[in-house]
Each structure stands twice: as C-alpha cells, then as structure tokens.
C-alpha cells in the first residue's frame, strides 16, 4: 500500500537521524487561518484496546507514527486520548467491591500514568515532546479557567509540544463529567479554533443501517443541516462511554461552528495518512463545514 510505503520511508528518515532528542523547531505560528492546519485527533477506547480489553500497544504505536507524519507535513496536532481506565483496570486485581465512581477514580489515576508514559516513550522516538492536559467540564465555562487552559495549549503548540488531553477522571464524577471524550474533543476543537476534528473509533463511519449488514451503505459526506438521526443507533461502545450517537451529536455541533469533522476507523492501517492523501478510497464519514466538497481530492486538513 502507498500509505505503508510513505510511513516506512518516513520512519527510516527519522531513525537514521541522531538518537539524541533535538531542540524542537516550533511549528508554523498560526494566526487565524494562516500557517499549518490545526487538527484535533480523538482516539477512542475501542481504537486503543484489544478484544480482551487490554491496551493495544501495537495499534497505539502505529497511530503515534501517523501523528508524527502529520506533524512532518506542517500540521499542528492536539491529541485527545481515551484509554486511561482500560490501562488501570488491567493493572490491579481488586478482591473487594468498589462502586462505579471509586473504580473510575482508581483505575484512571493508575492508568493515566501508564498511558502518558507510553505516549512519552513512543513520541520520543520522533524527538517530539508531549505535554499532558487533564481537564474538567467546568473548565470550559467562560472565565479565567477557560482562558488559562486555552493559553496553555497555545503556548505548547507554539513551542512544538504536542498536547495530550484527557478528562481528569480522579475528580470528575457524575454531573461534572463529560458525556465522553467525543464531547471533550469537540470542545477542544472549538476552543483552539481547529480546522479539522478527527474522531477515531473501531468503525468506518455512519452507515444507513447496521454496519455488519451487507446491505448497509457508508454515508461518505454530510452537508450542514442534514438530519441523519434515523441511522444512528443508541448503543454505547464496548470499551468506552461513547457510541455513534455521541459522535453524531458532536459532529453536527462542531460542523456548525465551521470545523470539518471526520469519523473514521482507527484500527485501519495508516488511516490518518490515507485520509490526508487518498480520501476518495478511504472509508470515512465527513461532516463538511461548507455545503460542497470534492472528496475525489485529498483532504486538506
């Protein structure tokens, strides 16, 4: 596959360079819509876990390779990553009962440390510095906390640091929680005025029926104002709190704010590269910020 060859060549270039971490050259400073494109990539739990619920480190490494490739193409990337609770759940064998809030707090505290450590090691191979941003729903209300969070991520991007965002599950409980990381990634995309939001799960996009049904068709493009509610199933994902209903709600809301939203399968090989270079042949659903797009051309993140 062309995408595989692109990535192999890129990895060889990077791994043949000095193994010592270099001083990062800041990404192009982005004033309004100038400079490099800004992308928010949300990786869901289903894209990061194996069937047994354990973290799929091989898949995680492949997605890191692709994000590093995007950055080499002058894209600014903000990563919203699930997986902390799944990481923590597999680290401990709890013999006594915990309620749902206690489980989430315990497993996320343990798992977030493991998750960010893995990202640190994987991105370090590309000399990419990462920074952790743990946030809560109340931080998105207008005010000082919102501005501080926005400024923190802005200065990270200006200095070549890749923000890795997740909900602070240790203190976010019940009504203080985001619906899921789809909602969180949408808020981040709006806050940081992203050009594109990419929601990666274990499904190619929105279908006209059950994706397992051969008669179902993938909906490739969604114009503003289009109602797809008849095609959206309400089931939650197996590993996370979201589902297609959540992705659809986020995509329609963020589309209205002038941001392209893509739903795609994070388990597909080289999905991010293929979306950028071979969009016409790559299964996905795009919610276009404008009424007309030409998906026969590569997507311009």
Q: What percentage of the chain reaches a pLDDT higher than 70?
A: 79
* pLDDT at residue 53, rounded to an integer: 81
**Which CATH number is 39's domain given?**
3.40.1160.10
* pLDDT at residue 122, rounded to an integer: 98
* pLDDT at residue 13, rounded to an integer: 60
Residues of the chain with pLDDT under 50: 17-34, 236-242, 292-299
Q: For residues 67 and 282, what is the distance between their CA atoms, to the nearest angstrom?
A: 17
Examine residue 155 and state whether it is found in any structural domain, yes or no: yes
Q: Vertex 76, ends 130 and 168: CA angle to 5°?
A: 45
From edge to edge, which strands make up the β-sheet containing 130-135? 130-135, 162-167, 76-81, 38-43, 196-201, 260-265, 285-287, 221-222
Burial 30-56 (b: 16+ CB within 10 A, else e): beeeeebbbbbbbbbbbbbbeeeeebb
Examine residue 23 and state whether it is found in any structural domain, yes or no: no
Structure tokens at 61: 């490494």
Which structural domain range is residue 161 located in? 35-287
Q: pTM for the complete prediction? A: 0.84
* pLDDT at residue 173, rounded to an integer: 62
Task: Count the domains in the chain.
Answer: 1
Sign, CA torsion 82/267/69/54: positive
Examine residue 78 and state whether it is found in any structural domain, yes or no: yes
Examine residue 59 and state whether it is found in any structural domain, yes or no: yes
Q: For residues 272 and 200, what is the distance between their CA atoms, to the nearest angstrom?
A: 9
Examine residue 159 and state whether it is found in any structural domain, yes or no: yes
* pLDDT at residue 11, rounded to an integer: 66
Examine residue 132 and state whether it is found in any structural domain, yes or no: yes
Q: Pairing relation of β-strands 38-43 and 196-201?
A: parallel
Examine residue 18 and state whether it is found in any structural domain, yes or no: no
Structure tokens at 81: 């990553």
DSSP element (H, E) containing 5: helix 2-15
Examine residue 300 and state whether it is found in any structural domain, yes or no: no
Calculate the alpha carbon distances from 238 to 3, 44, 46, 49, 202 in Å.
29, 11, 7, 10, 10
């Amino acid at each position: 596959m062309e995408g595989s060859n692109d990535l192999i060549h890129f990895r060889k270039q990077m791994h043949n360079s000095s193994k010592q971490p270099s001083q990062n050259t800041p990404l192009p400073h982005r004033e309004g819509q100038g400079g490099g494109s800004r992308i928010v990539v949300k990786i869901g739990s289903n894209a990061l876990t194996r069937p047994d619920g354990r973290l799929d480190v091989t898949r995680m490494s492949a997605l890191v390779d692709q994000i590093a490739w995007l950055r080499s193409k002058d894209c600014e990337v903000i990563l919203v990553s699930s997986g902390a609770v799944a990481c923590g759940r597999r680290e401990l064998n709890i013999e006594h009962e915990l309620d749902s809030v206690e489980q989430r707090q315990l497993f996320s505290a343990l798992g977030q440390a493991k998750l960010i450590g893995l990202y640190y090691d994987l991105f370090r191979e590309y000399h990419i510095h990462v920074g952790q941003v743990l946030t809560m729903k109340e931080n998105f209300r207008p005010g000082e906390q919102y501005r501080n969070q926005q400024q923190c991520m802005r200065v990270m991007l200006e200095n070549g640091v890749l923000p890795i965002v997740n909900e602070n599950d240790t203190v976010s409980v019940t009504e203080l929680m985001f619906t899921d990381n789809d909602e969180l990634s949408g808020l981040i995309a709006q806050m940081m005025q992203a050009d594109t939001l990419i929601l990666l799960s274990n499904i190619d996009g929105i279908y006209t029926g059950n994706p397992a049904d051969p008669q179902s068709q993938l909906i490739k493009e969604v114009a503003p104002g289009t109602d797809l509610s008849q095609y959206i199933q309400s089931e939650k994902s197996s590993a996370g709190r979201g589902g297609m209903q959540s992705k659809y709600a986020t995509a329609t809301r963020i589309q209205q704010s002038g941001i392209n939203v893509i739903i795609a399968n994070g388990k597909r090989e080289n999905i991010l590269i293929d979306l950028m270079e071979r969009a016409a042949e790559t299964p996905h659903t795009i919610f276009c910020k404008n009424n007309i797009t030409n998906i026969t051309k590569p997507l311009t993140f």
